[in-house]
Amino acid sequence: MEHCTRNHVATNEMISLRLSIGVYESRHGSYTVAEMHFEEALLLCENAFGVDHINTANTINNLGSTYDSQGKYDEAIVQYQRALRIKENAFGVDHINTADTINNLGLTYHRQGKYNEAIVQYQRALRIYENAFGVDHINTADTINNLGLTYDSQGKDDEAIAQYQRALRIYENALGVDHIHTADTIMNIALLYKHQGNVKLAKEQSLRGYHIFKTNLGEFHPKTQKAILILRDYGGRE
């Protein structure tokens, strides 16, 4: 592998190996190591296919995700935008293969506090998902929830609740009323009600989220513990 790396010998096996190591390291939080492997994989892809070939786009997207995880938001956006241009040229501006990268752009803008830019990206990704799958398909739910989070961060409570409730209905219908993804959105709703000072609704939603997390993840999982902390403000668990 070292000989191939030094000389940027591009074989499918070498590219696949670099990508696999990068994904593994990223999933285990070793982002600097993952970044190195993705950068090397990108060089190999560029040598093999060209700098703007569709086969390089996923590697560029992975590199962007790794930058994002390190808080290198400007670098992440550069990579996402490059991957997006390649996908748009290959598939079209509103193709489903572009939507995940658009959603990633939204996530990074949100983390930067650029909420209006994030909303633009989420809404574009959502339109693509809706056209491809339908308005209430599970593949739309994460982006709808992301929209809710962004409106929430802007203090637009009504818009946030509307998105959270829509995402919640989709999760409940697709995954069940006691699924982890369902509970995550329930807790988003609980926190919003808490910030509004709506004690009754905040407690109701927090209790529901707590019981789902406890049943699925156990008492000592971070998600369960976070729900417990919220419930302490309302007199504990029931």
Share of the chain above pLDDT 90, in %: 84
Does pLDDT of 204 surpass 70?
A: yes
pLDDT tens digit sequence for 129-188: 999 999 999 999 999 999 999 999 999 999 999 999 999 999 999 999 999 999 999 999
Strand, coil or helix: 30: coil
Q: To 10 degrees, what angle do helices 180-196 and 157-175 make?
A: 160
> Does the reported pTM lie above 0.75?
yes
Per cent of the chain over pLDDT 70 is: 94
Look at residue 238 in the predicted model and tell me its pLDDT: 54
Q: Where are the domains of the chain?
A: 1-73
Per-range mean pLDDT, top range of 1-5, 10-14, 96-100, 231-235: 96-100
pLDDT value at 8 more than 80: no
Q: At 90, is the pLDDT very low, low, confident or very high (cuts 50, 70, 90)?
A: very high
